[in-house]
Amino acid sequence: MESVIERIHKGHFSHFHGGIHPPEQKFLTCTKPIASAQIPEQLTIPVRQHIGQAGDIIVAVGDKVLKGQALSASDSPMQLPVHAPTSGTISAIKASVIPHPSGLSETCIIMKPDGEDTWCKRKICPDYELLSKGQILEKIANAGIAGMGGAGFPTQVKVGTLAKIEYLIINAAECEPYITADDLLIQEHSPTVLDGIKILDHLLAPKNILIGIEDNKSKAIDTLKKATADIEHIHVCVIPTKYPSGGEKQLIKILTDQEVPSGVLPSSLGIVMQNVATCFAIADAVINDTPLIKRVVTVSGQALEKPQNTWALIGTPVGFLTQNCGYKNKQHKHLIMGGPMMGFSLSNDQIPVIKSTNCILAPSEEEIASPYSTGTKEVECIRCGQCADVCPAQLLPQELQWSAKAKDQQQLTNLNLFDCIECGACAYVCPSQIPLVHYYRVGKAEIRQQKLLDIKAEKAKVRFEARKKRLEREKIARAEKHKKAAEARKARMNSGTSEAKTEKSAVAAALARVKAKKAQSSTDKNASPQESGNEQVSDQKSQVANAIARAKAKKLAQKAQLTDVQTPKNDSDTTKVDTKEASAKPKSENAPVTDKKAKVAAAIAKAKAKKLQQAKKTDDSVAKLPETKTDNDVNAALTDVKETAASPAQDKKSKVAAAVAKAKQKAKAKADAKAKTDNPVELTAKSQAKSATAKKEASPTPVEVIEVVEVVEESDSISAELPKQSAAELKKAKIAATVAKAKQKAKAKAATKNKTEKPTDLSSDETDDSISKKQEKPTSNNDNSANKELTAPVTKNSIKAKAAKLTKAPKQSAEELKKAKIAAAVSKAKANAKAKKLAKQSQTESNSENSEQKDDAKANEASASEIKKARIAAAVAKAKAKKLAADATKSQTSE
């Protein structure tokens, strides 16, 4: 296979795909010499004229500068300085329209030339070979040289590459139809251009230097050939004229038959390309120490009287150049910077010439019709494929166009929109006159925009995720902290300090109370058997029965919880029936039986109440008030049961009736604790006062509220009766009160933590003792306390509520206390009735119940003084409470 060089010598070049042959207009300017530079009134020097960042401005407004003096400094390779094109004064530094397709404004240094054109000091360096590569590169960088073919890529970056260079390509193709700047530069300044090439040769040491030049520049070709004849590795490659052979990638393809992979710099293939004008500037900079302050610009177009190439100082307004060339288009000014294929329209003629400006085109209307004068002729794409035929990047312009119109960014990317070099060949040939390149520019801009947005969205997402993680972490940390705090508390409690004791005792008290409550039902039963002393067996039996009953009650309660509102009604109905039964034999010998039953029922009721309490734990204080009541009732139950047993039949009857209502009330209070208020009840209570019992008898399915009212009424009447009852009963009540108080104190103490001075005063010595005992007996079992800790917060709440309530308790009259007791008893009675019903279901149960009844009867008869009984019962209850609190089963106190 022939080598690239052989092929070039034979004049065989490879081809890039597509390409067009727009009408040549070079004859307008190619025969005229380059006019020398004129100094305009004002120079506008954009600080950024290349691809990269602007240099830092080092002059201030009002400064006098000399020609060639740097106006900005750079400290990175992608920053390039700009220089004063002539001597003069800096008149302003402000944003001004820069030459860019978008018509953007950027910072510019405005300069007023003084007309002297005095140079700053220069250091001529006749022999560049004495300089090191670094020095040359520095000179190039300091001269502010950027690619002068159009793109404006910083030259020292390009030639400072470390890659091994095989081909240095000098681009003299100049394929745009009008531009002759490079052509003329070669014709007139070939020695300097050659010097530039040699400097690059020195820097890059390429194997071959290829000068690509289109075959329509015969004079320039001759000059170049003559100049390079004695240099062996410089080859002048005369390539066929075709647009856009001056494109970097296209020229590489033509000369070396290599394709630059998409998204890769040519240097990776060992190729560096430089423009002719850039070579000239390099030579000027290195040898003459002249920064890039002027360049050759083709001022062409049929709207000019004398189109020509001219040297133009960087910063010269375009209008100045066109005026010098005799611009006659007065009506419709249309100025294009760059060639007709890739140039861009200027919005005014004060836009300055910059380093990459190679042409100013002032076309006449016949020459290049503006869409503004003719209106767009765009019609639908007919898929003729001509655009694809000419596309040098081998894209499918028609499909791109379609996707661009549809804003299908995905498809645009798939079709390699970003490989489009915007050469304009496709739009040039399109018979439908679709401004294809315009669509691509818009499409590219949109995709870039989208990418920015995507990046933003991505960042936002990351931020969000981070936040989520942080919150998660914090949550865990919090949980950890709580755990630690709990552990610390535990440790503290076991540490034995006084503080720990207080805490412990608080917890212990709470525990004790809870246990006591649990134990009460059994304590009730235990009271009488223990009195009789030798009837432990039957006691146990009764306990078993109790347990069964409770279990059943619990089941029922669970059901009740499920069927929320209806359940209370059902309960009341059954209770009513029971009540009737009970009232059917008022004075019978079965009274003790009923009594016993009442106890069982009390247990059931309590169980229910507890269940409900648990369900309503979260409720507010309103919900807790009934709870407290219940507790009161429960506490009082002990004595009340006996009281009930001893009291006359009528009393019982009424009590039972009250119980029905009370139970209902409780149930209701718990079912909708919030809704419940005492006031309405009392109001209705007054209105219904007289016919309370009668109504109750009369209406089997009364409205609940009314019933509740009746309950209140009845319990009131009962309590009114109470004073008439026997002294024994009074005593009993007192004892019960003491018990209750003792408990209240315990609670209050637990809640208020040793602040319970008042309750202590009010309570009897006995209870004091028991409390102190409780305090002294810490919960020895750590596990136990730990377990209870979980429930502690909840219980504490309720304890507080109770404490609040209970502090009021001492102020309450004995009557009220009694009332509460009676209510409790009533509820027990009701529960008892229910239990009876349940008991009927199994014989064993009924048997055991019978025995219980007997026990109870005996107990009742045997007991000489009921006061004593009550006391003992209370004591037992306390003992049990203590026992359970201490979690010790063996150490039973023998009281």
Partner 1 sequence: MAFWIASSPHNHEQSETSGLMRLVIYATIPGIFAQWYFFGWGNLIHISMAIITALVAEFSILSLRGKKIRPQLLDGSAILTAVLLGISLPALAPWWVTIIGSLFAIVIVKQLYGGLGHNPFNPAMAAYVMLLISFPVQMTQWQPPLSLLAIDLQFSDTLSLIFSGYTPQGYSVEQIRTHVDGFTMATPLDTVKTNITLGLTVVESMESPVIGKHFGIGWEWMNVGFLLGGLFLLTKKAIHWTTPLSFLSSLFICSFIAFILSPDSSASTMFHWFTGATMLGAFFILTDPVSGATSVKGRLVFGALAGLLVYLIRKFGGYPDAVAFAVLLCNMAAPLIDQYTRPRTYGHNVGVKK
Nearest to 797 by CA among 614, 606, 557, 634: 614
Residue closer to ligand SF4 by CB (options 170, 400) is 400
Q: Which stretch binds partner 1 (CB under 8 A): 19-27, 40-48, 753-761, 880-888?
A: 19-27
Does residue 104 belong to the site contacting partner 1 (CB under 8 A)?
no
Angle, in degrees to the nearest 10, between helices 765-776 and 498-532 = 120
Q: Count CA atoms closer than 13 A to 878's CA, side-chain side.
A: 29
Binding of residue 328 to partner 1 (CB under 8 A) = no
User: Closest approach of Cβ 34 to partner 1, in Å?
Assistant: 24
Q: What is the DSSP letter of 165?
A: P
Backbone angles phi, psi at 24, to 5 degrees: -70, 135
Cβ 451 to ligand SF4 shortest distance, Å: 20
Give the separation between CA 169 and CA 275, rounded to whole angstroms: 8
Binding of partner 1 by 429 (CB under 8 A): yes
Minimum Å gap between C-beta 422 and ligand SF4 is 5
Tell the residue number behind the tokens 């359970």, with chain if given: 884
Q: What is the rounded CA–CA span in Å between residue 890 and residue 199?
A: 110
Residue whose CB is less far from ligand SF4, 416 or 797:
416
Q: Check residue 262 for interaction with partner 1 (CB under 8 A).
A: yes
Contact 355, 49 (CB under 8 A): yes
Which of 182, 183, 422, 849 is in the footprint of partner 1 by CB under 8 A? Answer: 422
Q: How far is the CB of 200 from partner 1 (least distance, A)?
A: 25
Query: Comparing C-alpha atoms, which of 325, 327, 326, 372 is closest to residue 345?
Result: 372
Binding of residue 348 to partner 1 (CB under 8 A): yes
- Residues binding ligand SF4 (CB under 6 A): 381-387, 390-393, 395, 397-398, 401, 420-426, 429-432, 434, 436-437
**The binder of partner 1 chosen from 117, 225, 288, 435 (CB under 8 A):** 435
Q: Is 250 left (phi over 0), alpha (psi -120 to 50) or beta?
A: alpha
CA distance 464 to 639: 65
8 Å CB contact between 861 and 538: no
Q: How many CB atoms lie within 10 A of CB 524?
A: 28
Among 392, 529, 626, 778, the residue binding partner 1 under the rule CB under 8 A is 392
Residue 415 Cβ vs partner 1, minimum distance, rounded to whole Å: 8
Residue type, 625: L
Q: Which stretch binds partner 1 (CB under 8 A): 416-424, 502-510, 756-764, 785-793?
A: 416-424
| 416 binds, options ligand SF4, partner 1, none, Cβ within 5 to 8 A by partner type | partner 1
DSSP state of 340: T
Nearer to partner 1, 413 or 558 (CB): 413
> Looking only at residues 356 through 375 of this chain, which bind partner 1 when binding is defined by CB under 8 A?
361, 363, 367-368, 370-373
The pair phi, psi for residue 9, each rounded to 5°, is -65, -35
Q: Which does 702 bind (CB under 5 to 8 A by kind): partner 1, ligand SF4, none?
A: none
Question: Both tokens of residue 885?
Answer: 């609190």
Cβ distance to partner 1 smaller for residue 347 or 495: 347
Report the greatest alpha carbon distance in the chain: 148
Nearer to ligand SF4, 384 or 551 (CB): 384
DSSP state of 247: S
Measure Cα distances from 423 to 158, 312, 504 in Å. Answer: 23, 26, 89
List the one residue from 419, 474, 573, 682 that touches partner 1 (CB under 8 A): 419
Partners of 112 in the β-ladder: 89
**Site for partner 1 contains 2 (CB under 8 A):** no
Shortest Å distance, C-beta 354 to ligand SF4: 23
Q: Which of 507, 516, 513, 511 is nearest to 753 (CA)?
A: 507
Please tell me the distance from the alpha carbon of residue 308 to that of residue 325, in angstroms, as a whole number. Answer: 7
- Contact status: 399 vs partner 1 (CB under 8 A): yes
- Amino acid letter, 564: D
Structure tokens at 250: 């296209």
Contact partner at residue 401 from partner 1, ligand SF4, none, CB < 5 to 8 Å by partner kind: ligand SF4
Q: Which stretch binds partner 1 (CB under 8 A): 334-342, 584-592, 605-613, 856-864?
A: 334-342
Question: Quick one: what does residue 328 bind among ligand SF4, partner 1, none, with the CB cut-off 5 to 8 Å set by partner type?
Answer: none
- Name the residue nearer to partner 1 (CB basis): 77 or 431: 431
Number of neighbours of residue 574 by Cβ within 10 angstroms: 16
18 in Cβ contact with 390 (< 8 Å): yes
Establish if 248 lies at the interface with partner 1 (CB under 8 A): no
Q: How far is the CB of 390 from ligand SF4 (least distance, A)?
A: 6
Count CB atoms within 10 A of the CB of residue 754: 12
- Rounded to an integer, what distance in angstroms lies between the CA atom of residue 356 and that of residue 181? 12
Q: Which stretch binds partner 1 (CB under 8 A): 219-227, 345-353, 450-458, 483-491?
A: 345-353
Single out the residue of 26, 32, 20 nearest to residue 301, CA to CA: 26
Q: Which of ligand SF4, partner 1, none sits in contact with 53, Cβ below 5 to 8 A by type?
A: none
Distance CA 469, CA 34 (A): 69
Q: Out of 78, 264, 565, 888, name the contact with partner 1 by CB under 8 A.
A: 264
Q: Tell me the CA end-to-end span of the chain in Å, nearest whole number.
A: 122
CB 143 to partner 1: min, Å: 30
441: contact with partner 1 by CB under 8 A: yes
Q: Does 405 bind partner 1 (CB under 8 A)?
A: no
Under the binding rule (CB under 8 A), the answer on residue 17 touching partner 1 is: yes
Q: How far is the CB of 277 from ligand SF4 (least distance, A)?
A: 23
Based on CB atoms, which residue is closest to ligand SF4, 400 or 607?
Answer: 400
DSSP secondary structure letters along 469-493: HHHHHHHHHHHHHHHHHHHHHHHHH
Least distance between ligand SF4 and beta carbon 181 (Å): 22
234-239 and 208-214 strand pairing: parallel
As to burial, measured by CB atoms within 10 angstroms (0-12 exposed, 13-18 middle, 19+ buried), residue 222 is middle
Binding segment for partner 1 (CB under 8 A), chosen from 395-403, 603-611, 621-629, 677-685, is: 395-403
CA distance 402 to 867: 105
Q: How far is the CB of 411 from ligand SF4 (least distance, A)?
A: 15
Query: Which of 53-61, 377-385, 403-411, 833-841 is the region at the interface with partner 1 (rule: CB under 8 A)?
Result: 377-385
Cα(629)–Cα(823) distance, rounded to whole angstroms? 10
Residues 22-61 that bind partner 1 (CB under 8 A): 22-23
| Residue 260 touching partner 1 (CB under 8 A) | yes
Q: Which is nearer to partner 1, 123 or 330 (CB)?
A: 330
Q: 373 or 687: whose CB is closer to partner 1? A: 373
